[in-house]
Amino acid sequence: MAKTTRIFFVADVHGSAVCFRKFVNAARVYKASVLLIGGDIAAKTMTPVFEAAGTWTATVDGEARSARSTEELDRLEGWVRDSATVPFRTTAKEWSELIAERARADAKFQELELEELRRWLGWAKARLAGSGARLLLGLGNDDFTPMEGVIAADGFAELTDNDIPSVDEHHELLTLPYSNPTPWHTNRELSEEAIARWIDERAGRLRNVGRAVFNLHVPPYGTPLDLAPRLGPGFVKVMSPGGEAELTHVGSTAVRAAIERYQPLVSLHGHIHESKGSVTIGRTVALNPGSAYTEGTLLGAVVDLAPDVVRATMLTQG
């Protein structure tokens, strides 16, 4: 039997430090030789850690905690990071002035997020060095393009976005680090036409597209992997008569067309947190592990690849 390569895939950790630690530790837990993130690494918010009279205070989701020593401050900021937001040491006056200017606040958030990414990568390198496991990172629509430079400069983690990296001697990786347009007009979105061009250009560089792994942040349209709540005016969820949120397909038509056309071995997706699952499109196994980052729970997918076949897949939670 040909040797298999085991990939552990996740997406949409959105700044949850506890989920990232679980992801890195999965190399040992699942005996994976390749760890792959398929986008949306960055947090969505920063949280002020207010200093006043020798005490620091932070509030996350209505819960306030305080620190009165440097050791307690480290623990406080660790709690903030595990809550999927970026801590920012400041004063009430400085914070009030910052948030009054959207451009300055956005620049500060991006600065803090890049520093958090460096922190994560340093921790991952220390944990994984010598293990034989590789760390492959792709971005998503909620990420910042300057994160590419941080990952590329790391020296251990590998940026998947602009090249065609090899997974092993048989399989290559094609990454789409964008989504189709969303109602929120996020950082990295492309039209369906641009998505098609992005995939086609990179597919043309593959040695063997039938053995490829597609790492496409947005899932294929019209499948169990792209169902999200239907939104009405003001981004309010539309409810059914039975009191449940109505669901609608929000994935990419270009992604689906590309999978149908190229038929890679496996296609890995994220973006739609609620649509954990798998589906077969032709010969291609498509997976979305979903995301529960707000709970500190890591959802993932184990994929075992032989040269010409997906030997096994498993959706995980932990």
Query: Strand ranges (DSSP E) for 39-133?
Result: 46-52, 55-60, 63-67, 86-90
Tell me: pLDDT of 111 over 80.
yes
- Domains of the chain, by residue range, sit at 5-46+107-317, 47-101
Query: Strand ranges (DSSP E) for the chain?
Result: 5-10, 34-38, 46-52, 55-60, 63-67, 86-90, 134-138, 158-159, 173-176, 213-216, 227-229, 247-249, 266-268, 277-281, 284-288, 299-306, 309-317
Q: Which helix (H) or strand (E) holds 147?
A: helix 147-152
For 105-128, what is the mean pLDDT?
98
Tell me: pLDDT of 282 over 90.
yes
Q: pLDDT value at position 138? A: 98
For 107-130, what is the mean pLDDT?
97
Task: With beta carbons less than 8 A apart as the criterion, state whether 84 and 42 touch.
Answer: no
The full length of the chain comes to 318
**What is the average pLDDT value for the chain, to the nearest integer?**
96
Number of alpha helices (DSSP H) and beta strands (DSSP E) in the chain: 7, 17
Q: pLDDT value at position 199? A: 98
Token pair listed for 87: 């801590």
What are φ and ψ of residue 109, in 5° steps? -60, -45
Q: Which CATH number fits domain 5-46+107-317: 2.60.40.1120, 3.10.20.70, 3.40.50.300, 3.60.21.10?
A: 3.60.21.10
| Angle in degrees, CA 179, 280, 316, rounded to 5 | 75
Q: What is the DSSP letter of 150?
A: H
Q: Could you give the CA distance from residue 72 to residue 70 in angstroms, rounded to a whole number? A: 5
Q: pLDDT value at position 1? A: 57
